[in-house]
Amino acid sequence: MAPSHALRCCKRALNWIPVLFINLVVGWSYYAYVVELCVYTIPNNAERISYLVVFHVFFTMFVWAYWKTICSTPASPSKAFGLPRAEKELYEREEQAERQQEILKKVARNLPVYTRTAGGAIRYCDICQVVKPDRCHHCSTCEMCVLKMDHHCPWVNNCVGFSNYKFFVLFLAYASLYCVVICATVIQYFIKFWTKQLPDTHAKFHILFLFFVAAMFFISILSLLSYHLWLVGKNRTTIEAFRAPVFANGPDKSGFSLGFGRNVAEVFGDEAKYWMFPVVSKHALKSGHFPEGLYVRMQMLSQTFSRPPSASPLVKYLENVRVSPCESTAGKCPGNSERASGHVEDSKQKHCF
C-alpha cells in the first residue's frame, strides 16, 4: 500500500517537469528581453520604453492565460450520473455484460445522455462508477472523468476540457503573439550582432538565442493554435476529431455543431468583449441555484421522447441539491439537426448553457 502511494506521489511530482521547463524558458526570455535587450543594448529611450510597454502587455496576457489553464480544476460529472444504490448493487453482482447493459440502459433512460460506445452500449466508467455524460471521457493521468475532454496536456499538467478550453486556446494565441513581438523587435539587433555591427558583449548570446527560441516556439505553437481554432469552429474536441461520437443513428463528427457563430460562443461565451480575456465569459450557473437551463433542455428533449421532464429522477434530484456551474452537460437528441439548448432569463441574470 505504501509503495503504491509513494509511486503515485513520484509520478505526480514528475508531471510538473514540463511545466517547470516552460516557466524556466519564459523566465529566461523575460530576463533576456528586458535586461539584456532593453537595458543594455537599445540606446534610444523612446524605443526602449515603447518596446517594454508592448512586451509587458503580451507577456501579462500570456502568463495569465497559461496559469488559468493550469489552475482550472477539470469539471467532472455530477452525482446524478452515478448509479442509484439498488442498481449499483445489481450491476456489481451481475457477471454477464448483457445484463449489466440492461441495468445501465434503465438508468440512462432518465439521464440526458445520447452518445454510445462504438458497439452501441451505454458509456459507463467502471473506475469513477458513473454513466458518462456526452463528450465526457476518463483521464488516466488525472484519475477522473472529465466533461467535454479534449486531451491531457503535459505542458500545463492538466486536462483540457469544459472548464478551461477557452483558457487553453487563449494561452496558445497569446504565446504565439508573445513570440511574434519578441521576433519583430529583436530581429534588427539580431542582424547587427550577427553581422558584427555591434561589439561582442554579454548581451550577444542572449539576443541571438532569444530570436531563435522565439521563432522555433512560434512555428510549433502556431500549428497547434490553427488546429484548435478549426476545432472551435466545428465544435469538436480532439478526441471527437479522431473518433466520431456515436449516436443512436450512428457516428456523426458534426453531431454537436450548432453553426459557426454558436460554436465559437460555446467556447468563448456570448459576450464578445470578454473573448480576449482568460475569464469565464458565460453567465455561469451559481452554486445553490436550480439549473433552469438544464430543466429547459430536458423539456426540449422530452418533446422528442414524449416523456415529461418532471417525471425524471434527475430533475427531482437536482431540485433538492446544490449544483455547481460545471455539473450540467450538453447533448444532442438522435436525429436532431442541432443540440437541444436554450436560454432562461429572469429579472436578475441570464443563464447560458
Scanning the chain, the segments in alpha helix (DSSP H) are: 2-14, 17-31, 45-71, 85-93, 97-108, 165-194, 202-234, 238-242, 260-268, 292-305, 313-318
User: Residues 6 or more apart from 274 whose CB is under 8 A from it?
Assistant: 268, 281
Residue 296 confidence (pLDDT): 35
Residue 3 confidence (pLDDT): 61
Separation between Cα atoms, residue 121 and residue 115, nearest integer Å: 9
Q: What is the mean pLDDT of the chain?
A: 82
pLDDT tier for residue 95 given thresholds of 50, 70 and 90: confident
pTM of the model: 0.80
pLDDT surpasses 50 at 214: yes
Q: What is the pLDDT of residues 61-71, one digit of tens each?
A: 999 999 999 99
Residue 215 confidence (pLDDT): 97
Mean pLDDT over 62-91 rounds to 95
Share of the chain above pLDDT 70, in %: 79
Separation between Cα atoms, residue 49 and residue 34, nearest integer Å: 10
Range 295-304, long-range pairs (CB < 8 A, 24+ positions): 296/342, 296/344, 297/112, 297/328, 297/330, 297/340, 297/341, 297/342, 297/353, 298/112, 300/340, 300/341, 300/342, 301/112, 301/331, 301/333, 301/340, 304/333, 304/335, 304/336
Separation between Cα atoms, residue 148 and residue 164, nearest integer Å: 10
Name the one residue in this structure whose C-alpha cell is 450548432. Answer: 258
Separation between Cα atoms, residue 70 and residue 67, nearest integer Å: 5
pLDDT surpasses 80 at 105: yes
Of 224, 173, 146, the C-alpha closest to 64 is 173
Among the listed residues 153, 183, 326, 333, the single catalytic one is: 153
The question of whether 71 is a catalytic residue gets the answer no
Residue 282 confidence (pLDDT): 57
Cell (9 digits) for 173? 494565441
Vertex 60 angle, CA 55 and 64, to 5°: 150
Please answer whether residues 147 and 35 qualify as being in contact, where contact means their C-beta atoms are separated by less than 8 angstroms: no
Vertex 217 angle, CA 216 and 218, to 5°: 90
Mean pLDDT over 159-165 rounds to 96
Q: What is the pLDDT of residues 237-288, one digit of tens each?
A: 999 999 999 998 899 999 999 999 999 999 999 899 999 999 987 544 333 2
Of 294, 349, 348, the C-alpha closest to 316 is 294
Of 176, 187, 178, 183, the C-alpha closest to 220 is 176
Q: What is the pLDDT of residues 199-211, one digit of tens each?
A: 888 889 999 999 9
Check residues 152 and 321 and name the one with the higher pLDDT.
152
Residue 337 confidence (pLDDT): 34
Q: What is the pLDDT of residues 7-17, one digit of tens each?
A: 888 988 999 99
pLDDT surpasses 70 at 317: no
Residue 5 confidence (pLDDT): 79
Separation between Cα atoms, residue 351 and residue 14, nearest integer Å: 40
Separation between Cα atoms, residue 142 and residue 159, nearest integer Å: 7
Residue 280 confidence (pLDDT): 87
What is the DSSP code (8-state) at residue 129?
T
